[in-house]
Structure 1
Amino acid sequence: MNVKSGFTYLLRIVGLVALFFAASFSVTARADVNVTFYSHDFGKNFPHAFFVAKGELSDGKKVDTAFGFTAINVSPGILFGSVNGHVKAPSASYIASSNPHFTVKIDDGKYRKLMAVVQKWQAIPQKSYSLNKRNCVHFINDVIKTLDLKTNLKTANWKKPRSFMEEVMKLNPFLK
Structure 2
Amino acid sequence: MVRIFRTALLLLALGWSSLAAAAVDITFHSFNGSVLAGRYPHTFVSMEGTLDDGTEVRENFGFSAKSASLAVLSGPVEHMILVEEEKWLRKTNRHFTLTMTDGQYRKVRALVEAWRDAPGEYYDLETRNCIHFVGEIGRIMGLDISYPDKLLRKPKSWLNHITRLNPELGAQQVD
Q: TM-score, normalised by structure 2?
A: 0.80
Secondary structure of the 2:161 match is: helix
* Structure 1 position 155, deviation (Å): 5.2
Secondary structure, counterpart of 1:52 in structure 2: strand
Q: Secondary structure at the match of 2:145?
A: coil
Work out which of the residue numbers 127, 133, 136 in structure 2 matches 1:142. Answer: 136
Does 1:38 find its partner at 2:29?
A: yes
Question: Greater Rg, structure 1 or structure 2?
Answer: 1
Aligned: 1:118 with 2:112: yes
**1:34·1:105 contact (CA, 8 Å) conserved in 2?**
yes
User: Helix, strand or coil: the match of 1:65?
Assistant: strand
Q: 1:161 to 1:86 in 2, by over 3 A?
A: same
What is the alpha-carbon distance in structure 2 between the residues aligned to residue 117 and residue 86 of structure 1?
13
Partner Cα distance (2:56, 2:39) in 1: 28
Corresponding residue for residue 58 of structure 2: 64
Unpaired runs of 5+ in structure 1?
1-25
1:4 paired residue number: none
Q: Secondary structure at the match of 1:59?
A: coil
Percent identity reads: 32
> Structure 1, residues 100-123: CA drift from partner, whole Å, max 9, x if none?
100000111111111111111112
The answer as to 2:154 corresponding to 1:160 is yes
Using the alignment, how far apart are the partners of 2:58 and 2:144 within structure 1? 25
* Residues 159-168 or 147-156, more deviating: 147-156
Residues 69-90 of structure 1: CA deviation (Å, up to 9, x unaligned): 0011101111112111111111
Q: Is the 8 A contact 1:39 1:98 kept in 2?
A: yes
- Aligned equivalent of 1:131: 125
Counterpart residue identity of residue 88, structure 1: L
| Matches of 1:81 and 1:152, distance apart in 2 | 21
Partner in structure 1 of residue 99 of structure 2: 105
Aligned residue number for residue 5 of structure 1: none
Partner of 1:51: 45
Q: CA RMSD in A?
A: 1.9
Aligned to 1:76: 70
Deviation at 1:174, TM superposition (A): 2.2
SS for the counterpart of 2:121 is coil
How many residues end up aligned between the 2 structures?
Answer: 152
How far did residue 59 of structure 1 move? Answer: 0.6
TM-score (norm 1): 0.80
Question: Aligned-pair distance for 1:27?
Answer: 4.8
